[in-house]
Structure 1
Amino acid sequence: MAKRNNENLSIGDALKEFVETNKLEKGLNKINVADAWKKLMGNGVNNYTLSVNLERETLYVQLSSSVLREELSYGKEKIINMLNEELGKIIIKKLILR
């Protein structure tokens, strides 16, 4: 049974506590990273993106275009920095394009 706090909490604080208590942060990070990829890369890249998976601190992105994969490989560090900035914390340390 969950413990009950009698103090008044804001909804944001209550949600943070719920996420921490139930160890949901990893799953939320996976969803947030996929959303950030879609938002930052735009329709041009998203049309060729087959999957976006976060495993530990490595982001695996599967692309259907070898030309696009080669082009994006030149800017891996910039992409990692942009995604981490969008997420507000350092979640991704390595990017692998497949």
Structure 2
Amino acid sequence: MGQMSIGDAIKQVLESNGWKQRMLQIRMRTDWEKIVGKTIAKYTQEVHLYNRILTITTTVAPLKQELRYAKDQLIQSINQHFGEAVVKDIQIK
């Protein structure tokens, strides 16, 4: 049996038990303002991450359009913030 670092062991346990997805969801909500800024965070009612698809809910039509235009850049910013490919697509509602 090979040796494994404590960090790798914890990561493996989180992934095998499905906890990593839940932790990413919580961290996304917590860090949302840091990622997108105060203005966008203020006008987004819900941010939900599931199966690498981020769903953003807002009632502000111009913001919806802006988020759609900046979708690829936002995915890149989020993944850079987390240091891994957390989001592969974004849905705006």
Task: Report the residue type matching 1:72 in the other structure.
Answer: L
Quickly say closer, same or farther: Cα 1:21–1:90, change in 2 above 3 A. Answer: closer
In structure 2, which of residues 28, 36, 39 is the aligned counterpart of residue 41 of structure 1?
36
Structure 1: state its 5+ residue gaps: 1-8
Map of 2:57 onto structure 1: 62
- Where is the helix percentage greater, Structure 1 or Structure 2? 2
Structure 2: state its 5+ residue gaps: none
1:50 Cα shift?
Answer: 0.4
Q: Deviations over 1:42-85 (max 9, x none)?
A: 11111111000012121000012011111121110000000001
1:33 Cα shift?
Answer: 2.1
Identify which range, 12-21 or 25-34, moves more after superposition.
12-21
Taking the TM superposition and a 5 Å limit, the aligned residue runs for 1:51-90 are: 51-90=46-85
Q: Is the 8 A contact 1:80 1:92 kept in 2?
A: yes
1:32 Cα shift?
Answer: 1.8
TM-score of the pair, normalised by structure 2: 0.80
**SS of residue paired to 1:64:** coil
Structure ID, larger Rg: 1
- When the two chains are superposed, the root-mean-square deviation of aligned CA atoms in Å is 2.1
Map of 1:29 onto structure 2: 24
